[in-house]
Structure 1
Amino acid sequence: MPRYCLALDLKDDPTLIAEYEKYHEKIRPEIAESITGAGITQMEIYRIGNRLFMIMETTDAFSFEEKAAADAANPKVQEWENLMWRYQQALPMAKEGEKWMLMKNIFQLS
């Protein structure tokens, strides 16, 4: 089962960070459906300061490109993404329009 790790920053404002966390206590059902429907079987988000770290486990058939296309065509997901962008900011090295950035695995204890 593939595992992906991604990073993103929040705006460094305690009030906004608290609101963002509140939204994630119970996400909207249609957002959860878009996640699981894309082949994501497990997802966790961790925070330190204003840095977010996401761990995703997926089916072998999962595709970032297919997930992005499905999200772009889903008005509820777009509404959620626009709302979340109020709290988020791109990492300093992100390209224009890039949000969650895939992290490179540099060590694994086997």
Structure 2
Amino acid sequence: MQRMAMVIGIKPEHIDAYKRLHAETWPEILAMISACNIRNYSIYLKEPENLLFGYWEYHGTDFDADAAKMAADPKTQEWWDVCMPMQAPLETRKEGEWWSMMEEVFHHD
């Protein structure tokens, strides 16, 4: 199992809509997350900085392949088309990133 985390900004005028959208996440999206070996997936909001922090545990053997599978899914693409205009990627993100991946520096079970 691999723990993974990421961060992105959210436009303040979209916070309520983003919360509502995720309170009623489409069943196809939840099924695809599970099919891609992702478990214990959570997104947290930090205001007033308007940052979203995502955390999940990856239980597969090839994250890049599972991420590609998710990205190729038409329903996931539709979900992203709704979510992405609400988000504000960090200026410091790496090339090719939307959400900025984070390094784990501490963990305790």
TM-score higher than 0.5: yes
The number of equivalent residue pairs is: 107
Give, in whole Å, the separation in 2 of the partners of 1:28 and 1:86: 18
Higher helix share: 2
TM-score (norm 1): 0.86
1:95 is displaced (CA, Å) by: 3.9
1:35 and 2:30 correspond: no
Q: Does 1:99 align with 2:105?
A: no
- TM-score (ref. length: structure 2): 0.86
C-alpha change, 1:93 and 1:30, in structure 2 (3 Å) is: same
Q: Is the 8 A contact 2:38 2:57 kept in 1?
A: yes
**Counterparts of 1:25 and 1:43 in 2: how far apart (Å)?**
13
What RMSD over aligned residues (CA atoms) do the two structures have, in Å? 1.8
What code does the residue aligned with 2:103 have? K
Residues 1:109 and 1:32: Cα distance change in structure 2 (over 3 Å)? closer
For residues 25 and 97 of structure 2, the distance between their equivalents in structure 1, rounded to whole angstroms, comes to 22
CA deviations on 1:78-107 (whole Å, 9 max, x unpaired) are 011111011011112024552122111223
Q: Which SS does the other structure have where 2:23 is aligned?
A: coil
User: What does 1:1-110 correspond to in 2, within 5 Å?
Assistant: 1-11=1-11, 13=12, 15-49=13-47, 50-63=50-63, 65-95=64-94, 97-109=96-108
Q: In 2, Cα distance between the equivalents of 1:109 and 1:37?
A: 27
Give identity over the alignment, percent: 33
Structure 1's unaligned 5+ residue stretches are none
What do residues 11-64 of structure 1 show as CA deviations (whole Å, max 9, x unaligned)?
1x2x3111001100020011001100000021011110210111101214250x
